[in-house]
Structure 1
């Protein structure tokens, strides 16, 4: 779950706790081109207050206008479709041929939004199932993200904790990488036990910890929504984190350094209790090849690779830093 969706749910919970009416709108199906993917959420509160997004803005305007003019009239969930006709597609700003179906759910304490948020805060992956005929909600913890499914009777959505990024080292490049990750809605932790690096290091929204890297990796209980990047160039710190991170379900584990240094790093890791398969998961040199030279450019390269792997985009070897630099030597 990204922080936009989390903000929607938190806002709904706040409105409900204040005794205010609100509706949760979810994109459940799209045909052709559409501005927002399935699962995108929007919340509308009293007076037409809104958080989140389900389109480029025009559908939001229509939903807000209905609330402002008629209030909240729905007692049960309802499915709405926009963009069936060419006139609707033009009116609501949908691309040519685009159609979007929304589930509009009037919320109440029985909608269990607060319970869902509590489970997410515990870094649990949760399946929320809404019965369309009654509005009743069930929550179960799951191990696999099944995405969104809609039947004639139920809407099921999977909600997970925010994507997390653990960066080893509080140097200059870490600051750029953390800034980009925050903009991409990651929950960012910087780990560096060296006081000379952390004394003046501060970036709003980032958690800074001073414990040893291997202890932090274990304590964070990294899961399939977690990424780790080691940036200190110090084997005593980077290798400690990598040894533990490669044993976890983290979807990305990488380390900065030259091709030679990464070869030596893999040789060092092989001396410990890691399998060949675990060592093969290590990304290094990190990043997608964009000819980066400066710390900000390298940070962009690293984050681009993390996002590509997060989104399960097949990685052509020609895009890797290792392959590109080898090609330049031939």
Structure 2
């Protein structure tokens, strides 16, 4: 989205940035959602289910550009009628910060940081429109807003390590990147990654257990082993299960998964750590093609990331499991 906004500015358009900073009741989009609006009505991003976007475009086209040159606060849904009009159920209310992008916005600096894979906190002072960027690699991603400053975190705040090259890893990567993951693909076998080029994916050829140690996994990290090769997977899984990674999984049939657990237990892995292994990885969705398996993996990871308890989907009658 910031890439598009920067391109629009370079082409001579006026651009406004809208950020959801507070909600009351039900809201179609969470706090931190962002949208950029061009002066001809084109938008990228989203702050609601569409009604508020439509109103902002309508206001622009009928009343002209916003008169405020400095950032301002906009509120939608103050009463039940307005909440219904803008698709805010249960009397919901939405508060936005409107910011006209320009030289004070620091957009080029922000984009450079994002291209380098850095996690940064952007702080906007509403009284002047000036911004400040700072490293945020150790900070949570929640926004901060006190009516005078708006502080938001940008960059790949989630990390995913995929062990093993191949088409399945490619599909998992392509689904993970739009979800905000910085993806690292590890496979020491050159024949498996020689022709695998995925924009935005960091490819390393070290041994997977070394990659796990090097990444210093935290609670916003996921590790997924996709090789079927115990020599590559097992030691990496042992290292990963002793970290705070929120998701550690390995592909395989249920029989192979049971054998894997037996092998890992022989290395003195704690029962509590072994219980966190998602093996077989993913949810059973009935498909066997690489894209379908990748979807099942991403669905499982997403549920875990959001703290949603999911009963494992499996066809018990047929004894099938993912990638079985």
Please, what TM-score do these two structures have when normalized by structure 2? Answer: 0.78
CA distance 1:151–1:36, shift in 2 (3 Å): same
The match for 1:106 is 100
Residue in structure 1 matching 2:16, options 4, 16, 23? 23
- Tell me the distance in 1 between the aligned counterparts of 2:7 and 2:272: 46
**8 Å contact 1:21–1:72 — kept in the other structure?**
no
CA distance 1:138–1:152, shift in 2 (3 Å): same
Number of residue pairs matched? 318
The match for 2:30 is 37
* TM-fit CA distance, 1:292: 6.2
- Tell me the distance in 2 between the aligned counterparts of 1:21 and 1:171: 44
**8 Å contact 1:121–1:161 — kept in the other structure?**
no
The match for 2:132 is 138
1:56-135 superposed matches below 5 A: 56-68=49-61, 69-135=63-129
Deviations 1:165-199 (A, max 9, x none): 33222345445534543564545444444455446
CA distance 1:230–1:138, shift in 2 (3 Å): same
Kindly report the root-mean-square deviation, in angstroms, between the aligned alpha carbons of the 2 structures.
3.8
1:84-233 superposed matches below 5 A: 84-142=78-136, 143-145=138-140, 147-161=142-156, 163-171=158-166, 173-181=168-176, 184=179, 186-194=181-189, 197-198=192-193, 211-217=206-212, 222-233=217-228
Is 1:251 the counterpart of 2:281? The answer is no
CA distance 1:308–1:22, shift in 2 (3 Å): same
Query: Could you say what secondary structure the match of 1:67 adopts?
Result: helix
- Tell me the distance in 1 between the aligned counterparts of 2:121 and 2:134: 5
Please, what TM-score do these two structures have when normalized by structure 1? Answer: 0.76
The match for 2:280 is 285
**8 Å contact 1:89–1:99 — kept in the other structure?**
yes
- Tell me the distance in 2 between the aligned counterparts of 1:157 and 1:190: 28
**8 Å contact 2:155–2:180 — kept in the other structure?**
no
Query: Could you say what secondary structure the match of 2:91 adopts?
Result: coil
**8 Å contact 2:212–2:240 — kept in the other structure?**
yes
The match for 1:4 is none
**8 Å contact 1:34–1:94 — kept in the other structure?**
yes
CA distance 1:242–1:61, shift in 2 (3 Å): same
- Tell me the distance in 1 between the aligned counterparts of 2:144 and 2:157: 21
CA distance 1:185–1:129, shift in 2 (3 Å): closer
Task: Identify unmatched segments of 5+ residues in structure 2.
Answer: 320-324
Query: Could you say what secondary structure the match of 1:47 adopts?
Result: coil
Task: Identify unmatched segments of 5+ residues in structure 1.
Answer: 1-6
CA distance 1:209–1:125, shift in 2 (3 Å): closer
**8 Å contact 1:131–1:137 — kept in the other structure?**
yes
- Tell me the distance in 1 between the aligned counterparts of 2:166 and 2:122: 41
**8 Å contact 1:16–1:109 — kept in the other structure?**
no
